[in-house]
């Protein structure tokens, strides 16, 4: 009988956190009974893995100004938070997990502390029977206005409640300490798993169509990129006869989707799609890609090998995508368009430049889901063999 692993995931804006957690859950389910606690809305076109039990919490997300919003009209934010906290604790008591894997917190998700901290406290109260508690975090962290205070708080919580941090990156690409610098050193081990991507079937590379593919993950941060793409399309069509497919994404609002359809009506060479089952597979079939530079979009670019230009999303202190994009650009894997210069003319010029750009074959560690599973398997056995639940893993 498999031991139980509880995986908590809260995606608030895009789908990157959800996609990564699904990939982890799918790999972990080969060895564990996985219970996925999903705190955001599930967009159309995204299927949950077989063999994984999913508990859908009352869905919360983030508005444009960062405030929490409820995606269930029957619950206010406060009502949803109260229900979620009780649901999480009930799940913990019912399934009695041997491992708890929490995505991003305490590096982020401070707004969800009032449901995560009670779970961590309840786990710690188990004493010698306490589950192994791990943090799952992406490659690059967002800068904060109160960076020192934020980092110190996160380190204190990690040292108090967690047994390890799993960084889903290649240490040769970026290390945790480059975007996380607490005054108090971490007492828990940090392990780099490699990048976590969705499973892909091994198939012969298709012949690429001479076409530009424009995408923006879930679509919630794609409005400016899509406007520039619609401005660029007539330029590309008149000059090079280059067709374009624009994938709006499931989280683009209905009003903006209608606006795109109106603005794109009768534009020659333009195809508008609401969603596709797999953007990465679509990238494999085209000669050029235009996108943001989120974690999963970056992996789609790397796996597909498509010549790509990215205009990273960045508002306020949201600089994670720009940091990632600049590193990938230095490795010769893609080209970066400054989002402050994003308009039809500059985007058309950047797309034209891709005709002579060939991405480098830089080798980054990409087997993060399998490596995460192997690490948890080994360290869970090691953890259970120790006498003191407070003793840290080597």
CATH label of the domain that carries residue 221:
3.40.50.2000
Q: Maximum CA pair distance of the chain?
A: 72
In a domain, 283, yes or no: yes
Q: Does a structural domain hold residue 108?
A: yes
Least Cα distance to 128 among 391, 394, 393 occurs for: 391
Residue 394: what pLDDT? 45
Same domain (yes/no): 374, 352:
no
Q: Are 14 and 41 in contact (CB under 8 A)?
A: no
Residues 6+ apart with CB under 8 A from 255: none
Q: Same structural domain for residues 304 and 376? A: no
How far apart are the C-alpha atoms of 205 and 310, rounded to whole Å?
A: 23
pLDDT at position 128? 86
174 and 26 share one domain: yes
* Judgement on whether residues 372 and 351 belong to the same structural domain of the protein: no
Q: Are residues 153 and 224 in the same domain?
A: no
Query: Do 87 and 137 lie in a common domain?
Result: yes
Half-sphere exposure of 387 (CA within 13 A, CB side): 0
Residues 18 and 70 in one domain: yes
Read off the tokens for 89: 């604790």
- For residue 372, tell me if it sits in a domain: yes
- Whether residues 221 and 184 fall in one domain: no
Q: Kindly state whether residues 158 and 277 are assigned to the same domain.
A: no
pLDDT value of residue 198: 75
Question: Do 105 and 58 share a domain, yes or no?
Answer: yes
Domain extent at residue 23: 4-197+366-385
Report the chain's terminal Cα–Cα distance, integer Å. 27
| CA–CA dist 296, 304 (Å, integer) | 12
Mean pLDDT by 10 residues, the chain (394 residues): 95 85 96 96 81 94 86 92 97 96 96 97 93 96 91 97 97 94 94 87 72 93 95 96 96 94 94 93 96 94 95 82 95 95 96 95 89 96 68 48
Q: What is the pLDDT of residue 387?
A: 45
Asked, for residue 239, whether it belongs to a domain, the answer is yes
Per-residue burial over 172-191, b if 16 or more Cβ lie within 10 Å, else e, is: ebbebeebbebeeebebebb
Among 394, 384, 345, which residue's Cα sits nearest to residue 132? 384
Q: What is the pLDDT of residue 43?
A: 79
Assess whether 291 and 338 both reside in one domain. Answer: yes
- Residue 333 included in any domain: yes
391 is a domain residue: no
pLDDT at position 48: 85
Inter-residue long-range contacts of 316-322, CB under 8 Å, 24+ positions, other chains counted: 316/66, 317/142, 317/143, 317/144, 317/145, 318/142, 319/142, 319/143, 320/140, 320/141, 320/142, 320/143, 321/292, 321/293, 321/294, 322/293
Do 47 and 141 fall into the same domain? Answer: yes
Backbone torsions φ then ψ of 69, nearest 5 degrees: -130, 150
C-alpha to C-alpha distance for 157 and 190, rounded to whole angstroms: 15
If we measure between CA atoms, which residue out of 46, 342, 69, 4 comes closest to residue 217?
46
210 to each of 189, 219, 242, 297, 353, how far by Cα in Å?
47, 24, 7, 20, 14
> Distances in Å between the alpha carbon of 166 and those of 68, 175, 176, 237, 315?
27, 12, 10, 46, 27
How far is residue 331's CA from residue 308's CA, in Å, rounded to a whole number? 13
Tell me if 349 is assigned to some domain.
yes
Determine, yes or no, domain membership for 204. Answer: no
Specify the number of domains making up the chain. 2
């Amino acid at each position: 009988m498999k031991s139980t692993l509880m995986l908590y995931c809260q995606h608030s804006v895009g789908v990157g956190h959800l996609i990564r957690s699904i990939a982890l859950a799918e790999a972990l389910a080969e060895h564990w009974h996985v219970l996925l606690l999903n705190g955001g809305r599930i967009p159309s076109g995204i299927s949950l893995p077989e063999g994984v039990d999913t508990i859908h919490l009352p869905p919360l997300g983030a508005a444009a100004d960062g405030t929490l919003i409820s995606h269930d009209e029957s619950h206010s934010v406060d009502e949803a938070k109260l229900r979620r906290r009780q649901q999480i604790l009930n799940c913990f008591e019912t399934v009695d997990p041997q491992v708890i894997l929490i995505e991003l917190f305490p590096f982020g998700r401070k707004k969800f502390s009032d449901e995560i901290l009670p779970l961590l406290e309840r786990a710690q109260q188990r004493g010698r029977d306490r589950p192994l508690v791990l943090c799952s975090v992406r490659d690059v962290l967002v800068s904060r206005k109160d960076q020192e205070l934020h980092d110190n708080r996160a380190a204190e919580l990690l040292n108090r409640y967690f047994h390890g941090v799993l960084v889903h990156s290649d240490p040769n690409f970026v290390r945790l300490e480059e975007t996380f610098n607490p005054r108090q050193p971490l007492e828990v081990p940090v392990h780099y798993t490699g990048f976590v991507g969705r499973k892909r079937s091994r198939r012969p590379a298709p012949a690429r169509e001479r076409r530009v593919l424009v995408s923006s993950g879930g679509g919630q941060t794609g409005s400016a990129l899509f406007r520039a793409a619609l401005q660029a399309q007539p330029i590309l069509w008149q000059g090079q006869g280059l067709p374009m497919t624009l994938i709006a994404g499931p989280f683009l609002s209905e009003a903006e989707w209608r606006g795109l359809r109106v603005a794109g009506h009768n534009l020659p060479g333009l195809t508008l799609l609401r969603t596709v089952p797999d953007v990465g597979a679509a990238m494999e079939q085209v000669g050029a890609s235009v996108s943001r530079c989120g974690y999963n979009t970056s992996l789609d670019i790397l796996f597909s090998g498509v010549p790509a230009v990215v205009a990273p999303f960045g508002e306020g202190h949201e600089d994670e995508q720009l940091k990632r994009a600049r590193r990938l650009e230095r490795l010769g894997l893609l080209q970066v368009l400054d989002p402050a210069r994003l308009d039809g003319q500059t985007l058309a010029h950047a797309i034209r430049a891709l005709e002579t750009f060939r991405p480098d074959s830089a080798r980054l560690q990409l087997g993060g889901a399998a490596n995460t599973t192997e690490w948890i398997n080994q360290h869970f056995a090691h953890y259970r063999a120790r006498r003191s639940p407070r003793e840290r893993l080597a």
